[in-house]
Chains A and B, each alone.
Chain A
């Protein structure tokens, strides 16, 4: 494994104005790891994700990508670092005025020198990967919630990013589709070496794919480092075991 972690978070505090959502976050994500950020509703998972991917400045602390400080960097460098990321938003965030195929094609057209025909092929392949082959001409408004989620993943994967940040991949998906998506994530990691940060509270998926994890506690407003989710389930902190067993473990 690489000596420098792919992502490192140091003393990070995130929130809105005076309202601190999470403080003193410290964790590192290694290359090729599937890292799970878990926690209950409203504990700040999405807020943390927005600070990680450069959408919302943290109240304090640093985010480092391969040792490079993101928020301290110049605008130009930040954009370069951001290009390493592929992001799936909680609501999909597909561009509503473009068809699915155009949604996936736009980042490719923007950042590569591929010909239109090549782009079409790549788009068709990515849509097929998420199980949406043949839906290229649909507009986002014509899709179900779960389909939007998968299409969003196809767009996030468009440029083969080094790091994939996914907010709640499986919410709104049926169990089988959710499982296929988990498999896809693991597959991407195995074949392309993609580092994946998954924000989720889906227990099945946490336990199935996570290599490492943190738990964001809504009550104390800070994190508990939990290591491998399976391990956390057996001997983790009480809150974490409580969470991972749907409140069945004391």
Chain B
């Protein structure tokens, strides 16, 4: 047991004798079969084994031997395995009982970095039609919903609303408070130079309500809920639940995607509004405590700055971002493969897609609203 493995290769004109001795256990860092294979080149016709000095072994030995046998077979060298312990011979026979399948067209060599980048880009481009098809299905489902023919259970909608809304309040509060704080500091520092610190109120109010409230909420919900949607639908895909919907003629889009979409389109704007108020409260705190601006002064300045249109802009953005998150989450979930790894990939990919879509939408909407003078 204690003595380590020993491997000795003895050439005797055209016969190579593989002498195995000592303890061949996996714990002992066994040699690879290539140590033998390299010796097979020079005129060897026959391989024999001598295991008389072998003390004990585990499956590490047959694994090594299988490699040797394969190398011999590839070179057309005859093998006399009579010298091997009976147990290893049995295991080797068992391992040969089901020949390796020819699965050409699978796997292959790992591609170089350029190829991988190229493939990734191509995959993305090829993904666009699928995205559009999914969008089309959702639009159709919305049409059915408007006509009162789409069916999903109200309970699902309420569950999603609860999951997206109240449960997201703590994280949305914390983040929008801190962002409001940052905004106020940043603004105050600059405005101090021109002695116009009171305009912190305008900056924070308009900034939070119009842009940042929606953007922050969107990103939080993308990470929180978008990923959850993808994981839920992905797991259903793995369990063949989605197939079961399809074969029973029940639209998975109506049943699974619509409630999630609606929940987000309703709740993200509300959270946006809430984030705006929390951000303004943070701005007030900074202005009052650090920059010596009066409470009522700040309040009236905020009221003066805010107009209804700012709220409408914020709400509309929230709704669009909500739709984007639900779209990305459900799309990646429905496209999920049939394994645990695929579910993880779907969740990651949902967040990335959602944030990408949100950022694009944010830019487009900001430009459009500016051009329209809203």
Contacts and interface: CB of A to CB of B under 8 A. Distances in A.
Interface of A: 17-19, 50, 53-55, 79, 82-83, 85, 87, 89-97, 106-107, 110-111, 155, 159
A93 B250 contact: no
A110 B244 contact: no
A55 B241 contact: no
A85 B247 contact: yes
Contacts of A82: 246-247, 249
B299 to A, nearest CB: 47
A132 B246 CA distance: 25
A91 B338 CA distance: 12
B241 A95 contact: yes
A90 B239 CA distance: 10
Contacts of A106: 248, 250
Given A19-B103, A55-B247, A85-B247, A93 B151 contact: no
B106 interface: yes
Contacts of B151: 110
Given A89-B240, A90-B240, A93-B243, 9 more contacts: A50-B243, A54-B247, A87-B247, A91-B240, A95-B244, A95-B245, A96-B239, A111-B249, A155-B244
A19 B156 CA distance: 40
B236 interface: yes
Chain A interface mostly helix, strand, loop or mixed?
loop
Nearest to B254: A110
Contact of A17 (B105, B156, B239): B105
A90 B338 CA distance: 14
Interface residues of B, number: 18
Contacts of A19: 103, 105-106
B235, B246, B247: residue with the most chain A Cβ atoms closer than 10 Å: B247
A107 B236 CA distance: 17
A-B pairs, top 4 by smallest CB distance, nearest first, are: A93-B240, A18-B105, A93-B244, A89-B240
B239 A93 contact: yes
Nearest to B103: A19
A204 B240 CA distance: 27
Which of B156, B236, B246, B248: most chain A CB closer than 10 A?
B248
A199 B55 CA distance: 49
B87 to A, nearest CB: 23
Contacts of B246: 54-55, 82
Contact of B241 (A85, A94, A111): A94
Interface in B96-126: 103, 105-106
A119 B284 CA distance: 59
Nearest to B232: A97
14 contacts: A82-B246, A82-B247, A87-B244, A89-B240, A89-B244, A91-B240, A92-B239, A93-B239, A94-B244, A96-B235, A106-B250, A110-B151, A110-B248, A155-B244
A110 B106 CA distance: 41
B54 to A, nearest CB: 33
B145 to A, nearest CB: 16
A155 B235 CA distance: 20
Nearest to B244: A93
Given A19-B103, A97-B156, A107 B250 contact: yes
A94 B240 CA distance: 8
A66 to B, nearest CB: 18
A87 B248 CA distance: 8
B224 to A, nearest CB: 19
A83 B247 CA distance: 7
